[in-house]
């Protein structure tokens, strides 16, 4: 007899391999309808879109999750993101866009890097970070975006790339960037993952912004770290 | 003459400098969410030394470069060196204390259950409402964690007989689940259990092996699950408390997000999620509410709305 009372005859987990595995499954339990977890509603994509527009937060979250398994779900998810106020539903939308991946998802997310809503902006950044391979082709373009904030956020995304690739792109930033804050973001990433090829660019950058003392200190730290790390140049 | 102070006797391993250690910890945190402070330095250095030997790295700088570019999947190898063979009974006991001191009390208060203590245990009479306290342990590996939960409840939670409790252990690896069912454990697995507990719930089957008694084995059920497959997790229903320790660190960002969504969906509203002590909050915090109890920080699924 089990030491812990667990009434196993009436329920079991799927494919249970332990005691009580010969079970009638979940239908043997008497959970109310609100107890049943779902991956999402079973309606078609149009209905999921309607749920995303008018359902309660739980229903919208489930609809967003279900659309992540629908190869044509990107557009519906992107539209929903624009008006979704609930952070947990937004999270599910971002996760589903990541699951779907591809350029279409990346293009759906990028506009949210420009939003004034800090949480949404960080959500978009995290989503791109999680799908860096799909985002990779747009990174050079984002690094030359007219908006300095976009350039700065993109520098941080480069942490996800292999060191030589990130170093090459960040050296380009150091060579042309006019905003000290964007350079500082690039220097910060280089300090963590840069290789020796970045050192001349760091030196030029420090010389160019001679009066921005915070930058010269950041460059000095990055330089020391890169040299101590002994990474090879990116060529 | 002895070795210089920064060399370990008998090995040509130069101790890593403070700056190197700090950079390594930063890197580990960024890549895995695992947090190591100065107090863990010896532990970390041991693993670095092991991996340097395995990769034939001649210096820390050379090994760290290998790690940063993830040559031959070195990050995974390195992380594995921190986590494998670390499972044993009553691991992270503070969370078990939190379970009985706070989590179950709240779960019962939030979602009252019928007390079944006075009902016959032969299954003829059933509670008026079938709402067991449901606890999920995943990944459960060879069963130490779900059995620990059962043992802990029996030993430390006086109302244990008053409630219907379902403990499920899951893992993606069916081989370890078979071992979990067999319930045979070595000395190392039992090292943190009081001898009286071992005597009560285990039977020695050799010099260094013990089998968990049948009555305890029947208190836990095992079933395979894939945490990043929503259909797989949904089939288990919803739980009051989920222990998911040291698994998310193995996932990339995208999988961790899906896993977090699935864990959220597998909890009853106001149910609790317990992660490993050094686990990243990344992708967990946007979904869950952080609850700080005396013994542990856990994550709670909020009520809808």
**A104-125 tens-digit pLDDT:** 999 999 999 999 888 889 899 9
Non-local CB neighbours of B184 within 8 Å, separated by 6+ positions: B205, B209, B210, B211, B212
The string over B181-195, giving b where at least 16 C-beta atoms fall within 10 Å of a residue's C-beta and e elsewhere, is bebbbeeebbeebee
Chain A residues 29-88 with a CB less than 8 Å from chain B? 29-31, 35-39, 56-58, 65, 69, 87-88
Which class for B112: exposed (0-12), middle (13-18), buried (19 or more C-beta within 10 A)?
exposed
If you average pLDDT over every residue of chain A, what do you get? 83
Does the structure show a pLDDT above 90 at A99? yes
At residue B220, the pLDDT reads: 97
On whether any CB of chain B is under 8 Å from the CB of A221, the answer is no
Q: Do A3 and B27 touch (CB under 8 A)?
A: no
Task: Indicate if ipTM > 0.90.
Answer: no
Q: For residue A57, give the chain B residue with the closest CA.
A: B305
On whether any CB of chain A is under 8 Å from the CB of B61, the answer is yes
Question: Hey, what domains does chain B have and what are their CATH numbers?
Answer: 18-83 (1.10.155.10), 93-183+215-300 (3.40.50.150)
Q: Do A35 and B268 touch (CB under 8 A)?
A: yes
User: Is the whole model's pTM more than 0.80, yes or no?
Assistant: no
Contact criterion met (CB below 8 Å) for A183 and A161: no
Helix (H) or strand (E) holding B103: none
- Write out chain B residues lying below 8 Å of A194, CB-based: none
At residue A44, the pLDDT reads: 65
Least Cα distance to A158 among A125, A206, A180 occurs for A125
- Write out chain A residues lying below 8 Å of B237, CB-based: 13, 26, 29, 31, 35-37
pLDDT per residue rounded down to tens, chain B (305 residues): 333 444 444 444 667 888 888 888 888 776 766 667 777 787 788 888 888 888 888 788 888 888 877 777 788 778 767 655 568 899 889 999 999 999 999 999 988 776 654 454 454 444 444 589 999 999 998 999 999 999 999 999 999 999 999 999 998 888 889 999 999 999 889 989 999 999 999 999 988 899 999 999 999 999 999 998 899 999 999 999 999 987 887 777 888 889 999 999 999 999 999 998 666 555 666 889 989 999 998 999 999 86
On whether any CB of chain A is under 8 Å from the CB of B229, the answer is no
Chain A residues 153-212 with a CB less than 8 Å from chain B? 159, 162-164, 192-193
A64 φ, ψ to 5°? -65, -40
Contact criterion met (CB below 8 Å) for A84 and A92: no
Q: For residue B258, give the chain A residue with the closest CA.
A: A95
The neighbouring-strand residues paired with B288 are none
The shortest CB-CB distance from B234 to any of A31, A37, A232 is to A37
DSSP B46-95: HHHHHHHHHHT-SSHHHHHHHHHTTGGGHHHHHHHHHHTT---TTTTHHH
Dihedral sign of CA atoms A84, A90, A92, A96 in order: positive
Which class for B42: exposed (0-12), middle (13-18), buried (19 or more C-beta within 10 A)?
exposed
The shortest CB-CB distance from A99 to any of B61, B258, B264 is to B258
Contact criterion met (CB below 8 Å) for B61 and B69: no
On whether any CB of chain A is under 8 Å from the CB of B218, the answer is yes
* DSSP letter assigned to residue B99: I
Does the structure show a pLDDT above 80 at A89? yes
| pLDDT tens digits, one per residue of A202-233 | 999 999 998 767 888 899 999 998 888 765 55
| Whole-angstrom distance, CA of residue B21 vs CA of residue B43 | 12
Task: Please tell me the number of Cα atoms within 13 Å of B44 on its side-chain side.
Answer: 23
At residue B130, the pLDDT reads: 56
Residue bearing the bigger pLDDT, A134 or A31: A134
CA distance A13 to chain B (A): 5
């Amino acid at each position: 007899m089990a030491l812990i009372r667990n009434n196993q005859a009436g329920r079991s987990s799927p494919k249970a391999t332990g005691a009580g595995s010969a079970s009638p499954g979940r239908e043997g339990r008497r959970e109310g309808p609100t107890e049943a977890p779902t991956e999402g509603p079973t309606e078609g994509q149009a209905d999921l879109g309607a749920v995303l527009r008018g359902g309660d937060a739980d229903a919208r979250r489930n609809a967003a999750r279900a659309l992540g398994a629908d190869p044509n779900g990107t557009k519906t998810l992107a539209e929903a993101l624009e008006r979704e106020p609930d952070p947990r539903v937004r999270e599910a939308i971002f996760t589903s866009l990541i699951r779907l991946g591809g350029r279409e998802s990346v293009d759906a997310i990028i506009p949210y890097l420009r939003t004034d809503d800090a949480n949404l902006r960080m959500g978009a950044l995290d989503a791109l970070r999680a799908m860096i391979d799909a985002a990779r082709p747009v990174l050079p373009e984002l690094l030359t975006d007219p908006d300095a904030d976009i350039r700065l956020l993109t520098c941080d995304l480069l942490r996800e790339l292999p060191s030589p690739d990130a170093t090459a792109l960040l050296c380009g930033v150091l060579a042309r960037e006019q905003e000290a804050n964007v350079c500082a973001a690039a220097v910060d990433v280089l300090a963590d993952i840069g290789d020796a090829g970045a050192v001349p660019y760091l030196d030029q950058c420090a010389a160019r912004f001679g009066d921005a003392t915070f930058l010269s200190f950041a460059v000095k730290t990055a330089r020391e770290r890169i040299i101590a790390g002994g990474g090879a140049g990116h060529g | 003459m002895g070795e210089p102070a920064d060399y370990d006797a008998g090995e040509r391993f130069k101790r890593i400098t403070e700056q190197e250690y700090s950079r390594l910890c930063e890197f580990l945190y960024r890549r895995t969410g695992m947090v190591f402070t100065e107090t863990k330095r010896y532990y970390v250095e041991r693993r670095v030394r092991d991996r340097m030997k395995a990769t034939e790295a001649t210096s820390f700088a050379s090994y760290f470069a290998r790690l940063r570019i993830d040559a031959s999947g070195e990050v995974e190898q390195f992380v594995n060196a921190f986590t494998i063979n670390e499972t044993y009974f009553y691991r992270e006991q503070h969370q078990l204390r939190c379970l009985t001191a706070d989590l179950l009390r709240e779960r019962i208060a939030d979602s009252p259950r019928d007390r079944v203590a006075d009902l016959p245990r032969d299954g003829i009479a059933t509670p008026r409402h079938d709402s067991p306290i449901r606890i999920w342990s995943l990944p459960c590996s060879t069963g130490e964690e779900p059995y620990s939960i059962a043992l802990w409840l029996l030993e430390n939670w006086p109302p244990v007989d008053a409630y219907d409790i379902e403990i499920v252990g899951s893992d993606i690896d069916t081989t370890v689940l078979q071992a979990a069912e067999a319930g045979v454990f070595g000395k190392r697995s039992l090292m943190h259990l009081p001898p009286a507990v071992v005597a009560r719930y285990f039977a020695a089957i050799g010099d260094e092996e013990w089998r968990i008694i049948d009555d305890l084995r029947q208190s836990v059920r095992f079933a395979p699950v894939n945490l990043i497959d929503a259909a797989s997790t949904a089939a288990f229903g919803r739980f009051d408390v989920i222990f998911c320790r040291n698994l998310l660190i193995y996932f990339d960002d995208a999988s961790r997000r899906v896993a977090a969504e699935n864990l959220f969906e597998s909890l009853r509203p106001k149910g609790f999620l317990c992660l490993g002590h050094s686990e990243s909050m990344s992708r967990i915090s946007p979904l869950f509410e952080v609850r700080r109890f005396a013994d542990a920080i856990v994550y709670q699924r909020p009520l809808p709305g």
